[in-house]
């Protein structure tokens, strides 16, 4: 599995209503994409939930690297570049992903954690997988996943949640404008 996330910073005066409309219009096009667990159309709106700037982003959980490759090769990413330019796409190899009990996806929480240079990697992996599984068990969790960037040795934990910021979730909060979930129900339950 691969997590992929990219973001576009928007001008302070940008009408985020256009982004909300775009997500509503384009979200349905992702309802049956093969090999995609989910795609989140995400917004960080200046002055809300800790955001200091407007930011529009997309978050994907792909079942296989070939599916992510096909997303790039078949021109699906062109819609993004034509509208917003080419963004850096952060990719992570997924160590674990679990469904929670909740179904209403309102927010994504993204938490990044550097792995200390002298850490026992196997112990660090096991601890982070367990932390992510515990996150999947919390009330309000739709899905929790953790990925690794083996170049920077950093974990990225993603929690898709019904809960608003200010609770138990750690990390940067993103409002979910639309969550396409073609294969989400096929993930193992926490």
pLDDT tens digits along 95-113 = 999 999 999 999 999 999 9
Q: How far apart, in whole angstroms, are the C-alpha atoms of residue 100 and residue 111? A: 18
Dihedral sign from CA coordinates of 148, 150, 153, 154: negative
Predicted TM-score (pTM) of the model is: 0.93
Q: Give strand pairing partners of 176.
A: 42
Q: Give strand pairing partners of 189.
A: 99
Q: Give strand pairing partners of 3.
A: 61, 92
The residue assigned the tokens 């200390």 is: 116
CA angle 128, 129, 132 (to 5 degrees): 85
* pLDDT tens digits, 43-78: 999 999 889 999 999 999 999 999 999 988 887 777
Q: What local confidence, expressed as pLDDT, does residue 17 receive?
A: 93
User: Who's near 107: CB < 8 A, 6+ residues apart?
Assistant: 49, 160, 161, 162, 163, 164, 165, 169, 173, 174, 175, 176
Q: Chain-centre distance of CA 123, in angstroms?
A: 25
């Amino acid at each position: 599995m691969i997590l992929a996330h990219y973001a576009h910073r928007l001008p302070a005066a940008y009408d985020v209503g256009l982004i909300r409309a775009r997500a509503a219009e384009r979200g349905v096009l992702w309802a049956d994409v093969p090999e995609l667990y989910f795609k989140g159309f995400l917004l960080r709106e200046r002055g809300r939930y800790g955001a200091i700037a407007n930011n529009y982003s997309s978050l994907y959980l792909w079942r296989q690297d070939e599916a992510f490759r096909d997303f790039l090769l078949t021109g699906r990413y062109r819609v993004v570049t034509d509208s917003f330019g080419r963004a850096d796409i952060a990719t992570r190899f997924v160590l674990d992903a679990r469904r929670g009990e909740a179904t209403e996806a309102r927010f994504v929480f993204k938490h990044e954690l550097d792995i200390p240079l002298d850490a026992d990697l196997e112990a660090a992996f096991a601890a982070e997988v367990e932390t992510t599984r515990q996150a999947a068990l919390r009330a309000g969790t739709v899905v929790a996943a953790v990925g690794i960037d083996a170049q920077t040795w950093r974990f990225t934990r993603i929690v898709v949640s019904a809960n608003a910021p200010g609770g138990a979730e750690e990390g940067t909060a993103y409002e979910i404008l639309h969550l396409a979930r073609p294969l989400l129900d096929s993930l193992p339950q926490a």
